[in-house]
Structure 1
Amino acid sequence: MMGALVLVAAAVGVLDLTPAQLQEELRKASVPVVVNVWATWCRPCVEEFPEILEFARKNQGNVKVMLVSADFSSRRELVEKFLRERGVGFATYLKQGSDEAFVEVLSPQWSGALPATFVFAPGGKLVTWFERQITRAELEDAVKKAKMESRKGGKT
């Protein structure tokens, strides 16, 4: 069984993600979405990564976690190695397209600094975001707000 899990993790790989694809993923989501923008060269990103990963594992099915690497495409193998070494077994993404277009989709107030984490309610409404390293507890609180926002939105 463990071998099967390793095969799944290895088969997932890193997918390219354009701003338009990201916008569509957010729009069609039926659960809250956490978008974590990180890079292998960003020390705070690497430090918070275990917290984000643990959150993703504990909330699988209830929250969609999208790990989006801001590394250059030429560093794809390094990104894949980083993810493989940490046992990431779900789809992850490599940012494609202009930084400005990603900023526009995620939050026009975002300076582009890393790490950055954005929490969206189902359907794609931005609930909150962080332009710094965060903890799993902060992420859990933010997702609770996204779920409440979703319930509020469903009543109107």
Structure 2
Amino acid sequence: MNKKHLAAYVAVAALFGVMGGIVAINKKEPAPVTTTMADTGGAAHSAVDKFYAQSLNDLKGQPQALAQWKGKPLLVNFWATWCTPCVQEMPELSHLADEEAGRQGEKRFNVIGIGIDSPTNLSEFAEKLKIAYPLYVGGMGGTELSRELGNKQGGLPFTVLIGADGQVIKTYLGKLKFDELRADLAQLKG
């Protein structure tokens, strides 16, 4: 290969590098997929009943009944330490939970996280980031639990907003848009 060919290859490679950089800078993050489930006329969704019938270990290895969250709106976030969008949204989700806990008067909703990961990874991550809401170990069974609540694709992060009446109000697949989430939470009846 002579110097002319090498220079041409370098120029083409540089051009593709610049074009790739421009595309990356202008790339918009996809909006989360949001859905609502059919109204059941005031009865709890059967998937929510199954959810509340579960017990999951907390990060200390102690079993916790999810039924303890019944009767008040609940934001359930399915996540994993290896999921970049999950990790990116957790500090803001933690701030939201902390804000709600510090509210004057009665809390409007609770936030919990269900990790699709090993207990060790979840504990180390939560300790490092100082997450302000309860985290539970879902393991691989957590994926099935999220599917039952509407996560047909099985993707992460997946967040479910459950009303005090056991109705699934909305689901969010992908990184949360907090302005949309805050608007949804502001409309809660609880």
Instruction: Please tell me the residue identity of whatever aligns with 2:143.
Output: D
Partner of 2:111: 65
Q: TM-score of the superposition, structure 2-length normalised?
A: 0.58
Residue number in structure 1 paired with 2:160: 118
Among 85, 88, 91, the residue aligned to 2:134: 91
Change (3 A) 1:51 1:102: same
Deviation at 1:81, TM superposition (A): 1.1
Q: 1:53 aligns with which of 94, 99, 123?
A: 94
- Give the Å deviation of 1:15: 5.3
Q: Which residue of 2 aligns with 1:135?
A: 177
- The number of residues matched between the two structures is 127
Return the match for 2:59 from 9, 13, 22. Answer: 13
State the 1:62 CA deviation.
2.6
TM-score if structure 1 supplies the norm length?
0.69
| Contact kept? 1:16, 1:95, Cα under 8 Å | no
| 1:15–1:92 contact (8 Å) kept in structure 2 | no
Task: Assess, with a 3 A threshold, how the Cα gap between structure 1 residues 14 and 111 changes in structure 2: closer, same or farther.
Answer: farther
Specify the alignment match of 1:100 in structure 2: 144
> Does structure 2 retain, via aligned residues, the 8 Å contact 1:36–1:115?
yes
> Shift in Å at residue 76 of structure 1?
1.2
Partner of 1:40: 81
Residues in 2 aligned to 1:115 and 1:46: alpha-carbon distance in whole angstroms:
9
RMSD across aligned positions (CA)? 2.5
User: By percentage of residues, which structure has more helix?
Assistant: 1
Structure 1: segments with no counterpart, 5+ residues = 1-11, 151-156
Of 89-98 and 79-88, the range deviating more from structure 2: 89-98
Evaluate the alpha carbon distance shift between residue 113 and residue 134 of structure 1 in structure 2; reply closer, same or farther with a 3 A threshold. Answer: same
Quote the offset at 1:69 in angstroms: 0.4
